[in-house]
Chain A
Amino acid sequence: MFRNNYDNDVTTFSPTGRIFQVEYALEAIKQGSAAVGMVSKNHVVLVALKRNAEELGSYQKKVIKIDEHLGVALAGLAPDARVLSNFLRQQAMSSKMVFNRPLNLSKAVYSIADKAQENTQSAGGRPYGVGLLIAGIDETGPHLYEFQPSGSVLEYYGTAIGARSQAARTFLEDKYEEFADASKEKLIEYALTALRDTLAQDKELNLYNTTVAVVGKDEPFTIYDDDRVQQWLDLLDSLSNKRHKSSDDENKEEGEEKNEEEEKNEEEEKKNDTEEAEQHDAAQDHPESSHEGDRMDTD
């Protein structure tokens, strides 16, 4: 197979000015399950799909609380997310300690963005392999940011990261004008609908695999898991992906077909990749992606 010489380390530019190790790190996000976030005038909502590695194992945490006014959802390498959230918690505490004021959202996100950038410019480490949706409220109101391992941070009305998240983004792009005035309940309903769109054919949202988190002007960052999620799932008319609604396979046992399904996911992902690669200005030297070997577990 053709080998790309420019993708061995983070300190090498390709002839078109790209840094492949960083782009590969971005790919790690897509290996994780989806997370969706959106903002209204008064609330920010995060929802995410949890995976369990095996039937008897627990579901991996997808949302981490940072402070009363701030939390993150992750897609990609969960340990990296833990490191970054720990850093954010330190920042939040330091802001309380020094100024007795809650950490400003843009300060928070840029602090980890700048931290991530360092790992893209010097050898001896690797870029972070996780994407984050950072949701919070500060003196300027509610905010939703997306963090990427490249050190890029952008503020969105609503966005999604992780496996098959394009489907969720398509939904959000269709509805984003309605977010601002939406009630908390409506916002969660939208977010869960977007999340549902990322589901594979024979999956559905349930109280075990779904996480909902909300932060509002008068409402501290709250994570809803397990039994507490049911109230939000009840907002939806259906729990399986509407795009696959025609298929009649309900009541399938979870996990059984996991491998098969993951392959399907990957196929679709690759399709997305090539589409996105085409959108790049200079995609000529995009290497063949071959992630067949052992891969780190992602969530």
Chain B
Amino acid sequence: MNHNPVNWGRPSDDQYGPYNYQIANASNVASQATKNSQNEFPTMHTQQPMITGASVVAVKFNDGVVMATDKLGSYGSLLRLDDLERMIQVGDSTVVGVSGDISDFQYLQRLLDELLIEDNYDMEQSNLKASHVHEYLRGVFYNRRSKMNPLWNACVVAGFDADGEVFLKYVNLLGVSYSSPAIATGFGAYMGVPLLRQKVENEEDVKKLEKEDAIKLVRDCMKVLFYRDARSWDKYDLCVITKSTKKIEFQKGLECEGQSWKFARDISGYGLPQQ
């Protein structure tokens, strides 16, 4: 066993021969190898996201869901796009917040738009609820990852289910999905969720959280994420889904208010010590 962390997970050289770093140059074009050619690599698809969106933060309250996404599209560490909207409204029952690769997000956007058009073909009452959209996305993600060609996203689907109840569920590029009263993707899962869970640990707590408090809670999360996540941004969109009015309302272009960077002085352990 090689105890060097860099080599963890690698096939051992003793058994498989030295690792071929050329494999990174494998083509994404289907291999046209003949039987004899030894040096053909397997087909390779997406290995990393390109332009990315950061966290989606969402929490249930006693009459619905609040969800937020910031407006940044990062190209690595470059602030590439600063006016993105990463929440898609699908009909009158569903909002999907998407983080991860932006071109894959746009592809999802088109998929969901097509889904909506097909749902409206008969021009009768819509039957496409949040639970259906979630199930559909889960299928899309899982099928794609099973072809070793994932859509590089993590999504939060919020809205109303077939019974008109509030719905909030997560699904990501692997097809992994779960529901919880407080959900966040990306860095939000580490730094947002603990804050959300201080208020809503379980479904019981949801009944005690008012809409205004939920909005404040999510806005605080967005601020903390802006403080600590270098790929986040202080301008964001917020969406409030209300069960009693059956309404989905957006507040677009909000900013992190009341920022205070005093805490930054006390942070240590990164790079050169600040003097």
Identify the A interface with B (CB < 8 A): 97-101, 104, 106, 139-140
Partner of A106, one of B122, B129, B131: B122
Q: Are B139 and A139 in contact (CB under 8 A)?
A: no
A191–B129 Cα gap in the complex (Å)?
36
A-B contact pairs, 13 of them (CB 8 A): A98-B135, A98-B136, A99-B136, A100-B135, A101-B127, A101-B131, A101-B132, A101-B135, A101-B162, A106-B122, A106-B124, A139-B127, A139-B162
User: Which residue of chain B has its CB nearest to the CB of A138?
Assistant: B127
Is A100's CB under 8 angstroms from B127's CB? no
Bound form: Cα–Cα A140–B132 in Å = 16
Which of these, B122, B124, B125, B132, contacts A99 with CB under 8 Å? B132
- Return B1 CB to nearest CB of chain A, in Å: 43
Residues of A within 8 A of B136 (CB): 98-99
| Interface residues in chain B, defined as those with a beta carbon under 8 Å from any beta carbon in chain A | 122, 124-125, 127, 129, 131-132, 135-136, 139, 162
- Name the residue on B nearest A96 (C-beta): B135
Could you tell me the distance in whole angstroms from the C-beta of A217 to the nearest C-beta in chain B? Answer: 13
Q: Which residues of B contact A98 (CB under 8 A)?
A: 135-136, 139
Inside 8 A of B139's CB, which chain A residues have their CB? 97-98
Known pairs A98-B139, A101-B127, A101-B162; list 15 more (Cβ under 8 Å). Answer: A98-B135, A98-B136, A99-B132, A99-B135, A99-B136, A100-B131, A100-B135, A101-B129, A101-B131, A101-B132, A101-B135, A104-B127, A106-B122, A106-B124, A140-B124
> Residue of B at shortest CB range from A107?
B122
Instruction: Give Cα A231–Cα B124 distance, bound, in whole angstroms.
Output: 39
Total number of residue pairs linking A and B with CB closer than 8 Å? 23
Main secondary structure of the interface of A (DSSP, over half): loop
- Chain B nearest CB, measured from A68 CB (Å): 15
The 6 closest A-B pairs by CB, nearest first: A100-B135, A99-B132, A101-B132, A99-B135, A98-B139, A99-B136
For the complex, give the distance between the alpha carbons of A89 and B129 in Å: 23
When C-beta atoms are compared, the residue in chain B nearest to A140 turns out to be B125
Residue of B nearest to A106 (CB): B122
Cβ contacts under 8 Å, B124 to chain A: 106, 140
Complex Cα gap A99–B125 (Å): 17
Give complex CA distance A101, B127 in Å: 10
Please, which residue of chain B has its CB at the minimum distance from the CB of A95?
B132
Chain A's nearest CB lies how many Å from the CB of B161?
A: 10
Cα-based distance from A99 to B138 in the complex (angstroms): 9
Q: How far is the CA of A252 from the CA of B132 in the complex (A)?
A: 56
Give complex CA distance A146, B131 in Å. 31
User: Could you tell me the distance between the alpha carbons of A106 and B127 in the complex, rounded to whole angstroms?
Assistant: 12
Chain A neighbourhood of B129, CB < 8 A: 101
Q: B125 and A100: CB pair below 8 A?
A: no
CA–CA, A98 and B140, complex, Å: 9
User: Inside 8 A of A140's CB, which chain B residues have their CB?
Assistant: 124-125
Shortest distance between the CB of B246 and any CB in chain A (Å): 16
Q: Which residues of B contact A100 (CB under 8 A)?
A: 131-132, 135
Per the bound structure, the CA–CA distance linking A64 and B129 in Å amounts to 29
Bound-state CA distance A140–B129 (Å) is 14
Chain A residues with CB under 8 Å of B131's CB are 100-101
Nearest CB in chain B: distance from A108 CB, A: 13
Contacts of B135 in A (CB 8 A): 98-101
Most buried by B among A100, A104, A106, A139: A100
CB distance from A237 to the nearest CB of B (A): 41
Closest residue of chain A to B135, judged by CB? A100
Minimum Cβ distance to chain B for residue A247 (Å): 49
Q: How far is the CA of A104 from the CA of B129 in the complex (A)?
A: 13
Residue of B nearest to A104 (CB): B127
Q: Which residues of A contact B132 (CB under 8 A)?
A: 99-101
Least CB distance from B261 to A in Å reads 46
Give the complex CA separation of A101 and B122 in angstroms: 18
A140 vs chain B, min Cβ distance (A):
7
B185 to chain A, nearest CB (A): 22
Q: Smallest CB–CB gap between B251 and chain A, Å?
A: 30
Separation of A106 and B162 alpha carbons in the complex (Å): 17
Closest CB in chain A relative to B178 CB, distance in Å: 15
Report the nearest B residue to A101, measured CB to CB. Answer: B132
CA distance in complex: A100, B136 (Å): 8
Q: How far is the CA of A106 from the CA of B122 in the complex (A)?
A: 9
Most buried by A among B125, B127, B139: B127
A106 to B121 alpha-carbon distance, docked (Å) = 12
What's the Cα separation between A268 and B162 when bound, in Å?
A: 49
Residues of A within 8 A of B162 (CB): 101, 139
* A97–B138 alpha-carbon span in the complex (Å): 11
Contacting residues, chain A, for B122 (C-beta < 8 A) = 106
CB distance from A167 to the nearest CB of B (A): 34
